[in-house]
Amino acid sequence: MHPLTDIGVVWGDDGVTAIIFLEGVKKYSNDSSPPMAIKKLLDSIRMFLDGCEVDFDLSVLDFGGCTEYQRRVLDVVSSIPRGSTLTYSEVAARAGGSPRSAAGALSRNPFPLVIPCHRVIRSDGNAGGYQGGVKLKKRLLEMEGVSLEGQ
């Protein structure tokens, strides 16, 4: 358990298929041990939540459940550096869609934290939505040294 948030990692034969927030979710585990690549990803997530700058290994992620457009949005968002933000409009312009479609793609981001959708904010400087809740989004941004102007 990490003091910032509880997460779960789901993986299959082709890699990580989802990272989910477990706030309010009943938790269980079995005795199987994850592959080394998954262990490394978990260690990287722990380091990230501890405030360290981390370069996540995206090769362990399975994007098979993503649409072509969502993959473009996730590619844009994965390049946002720690301590920086882009607006939904900026992400949409780079991915070839509308701000609403970019927001929709990010609302279904199967890899939050690793694909840092918390770094995407509204054009007015407000946080916007987040799978883990707006409070967590703001905490993650503050942890990275980002101060939201519209708050």
Q: For strand 120-121 and strand 86-87, is the pairing parallel, antiparallel, or unpaired? A: parallel
Ramachandran bin of 72, using left for φ above 0, alpha for ψ from -120 to 50, beta for the remaining angles: alpha
Active-site annotation holds for 117: yes
3 state DSSP class of 123: coil
CA atoms within 13 A on the CB side of 86: 22
Q: Which of 117, 121, 140, 141 is catalytic?
A: 117
Give the Cα separation of 80 and 113 in Å (integer).
12
Active site residues: 117
